[in-house]
Amino acid sequence: MSRIVTVVAVTAAALSVASCGSDPSDWGGIKVDFETADSAPAWSPDGRSIAFASNRDGGGIFVVRPDGRGIRRITPTKGKAPEWSPDGKELAFEAPDGLRVVSITGEPELRLARVSSTGEQSMSPTWSPDGRRIAFVREVRDGSYVIFAVARRGGPPRRLLESAIDPDDLNWSILTASELAPSWSPEGRRIAYNTGEGVLVVATVATGRRKTIPTDGAGYEPAWSPDSSKIAHKCTGSLCIVDLTSHAVSTLLGDAGAPSWAPDGTRVVVERYLYGSGNAISSPMALYVVPTDESDAEVLTFGPGETDK
């Protein structure tokens, strides 16, 4: 009985929030639609734009200014996890047929890597700081997911790191062996990722040497700060930031993930489940901008809005 009451209460709260969008003055003038999901934000290198994936207005990859204005679609391809090139001229993203790159000026898309299996759903591209390679995740024969890299203009993808654990090791499992959600460090020498068990790892690209990063519970979706001193990540369902020197962990926002830093390091943009996570009504998602000084977060998107075409 208590479970039914809880679901009813949460649903009522969700509908109450959604109804706020009926007034054009609410949420920055953006009309709210309950099923809208804006996700996987990525701050541009110049700080002027934030790319994101969305199902709004037919779906695709969009960009918006940090003040929530100027939303426009870059491509109607229903993709995920857009990531800016270091020069800010292109976006790599995960498409239904593989890893793609699209110019922000609307030039034809280039597919760099195919999806190797129907179950491969989290390619999570990340650019090397010199712009020459894009690292991404793909499934290998043993069923685990590991990091590969491909040249900016295509070519055969190559595995980026040697295996962290031998398949003959008694501790081996698909979860322990998987390298997920990679993030290339700003100086280009290291790459952070999480295992399937939620362990945050930093690996030196040249040597494959790995170091485990302490977190408050399981850690996912790491993102380097611009000065390489911190890593933002999803931490037990919240946005957390770990200092790589002191190992201090701060929690900034609940029900948040997929962080991306502003170039000046003062803010992080995240995706956020609007009505709680872990249940059937948690799919509506918006983007939030979170100051790193622990002041209040601000909603960036909410609903379909008016798309500049």
pLDDT in tens, 69-98: 999 999 999 999 999 999 999 999 999 889
Q: Assign 165 a pLDDT band (cuts: 50, 70, 90).
A: confident
Residue 236 placed within a domain = yes
List CB contacts of 131: < 8 A, sequence separation 6 or more.
85, 86, 87, 152
Average pLDDT over residues 5-28: 33
* Domain around 237: 33-299
Name all contacts of 2-8 with Cβ < 8 Å and 24+ positions apart: 7/279
CATH code for the domain of 166:
2.120.10.30
Query: Tell me, what's the pLDDT at 239?
Result: 95
Query: Tell me, what's the pLDDT at 34?
Result: 67
User: For all residues of the chain together, what is the average pLDDT?
Assistant: 84
Residue 54 placed within a domain = yes
Asked whether the predicted pLDDT for residue 127 surpasses 90, the reply is yes
Residue 25 placed within a domain = no
The single-letter DSSP state of residue 276 is B
Residue 18 placed within a domain = no
Average pLDDT over residues 228-234: 97
Asked whether the predicted pLDDT for residue 28 surpasses 50, the reply is no
Q: Assign 199 a pLDDT band (cuts: 50, 70, 90).
A: very high
Q: What whole-number percentage of the chain has pLDDT above 70?
A: 81
Average pLDDT over residues 121-150: 92
Amino acid letter, 142: D
Q: Assign 179 a pLDDT band (cuts: 50, 70, 90).
A: very high
Q: Among 19-28, 239-248, 298-307, where is mean pLDDT lowest?
A: 19-28
pLDDT in tens, 215-226: 988 999 999 999
Query: Tell me, what's the pLDDT at 136?
Result: 96
Residue 67 placed within a domain = yes
Average pLDDT over residues 249-273: 95
Number of domains in the chain: 1
The single-letter DSSP state of residue 175 is H
Residue with tokens 């759903």: 121
CA dihedral 111, 113, 114, 116 (to 10 degrees): -170
Asked whether the predicted pLDDT for residue 11 surpasses 70, the reply is no
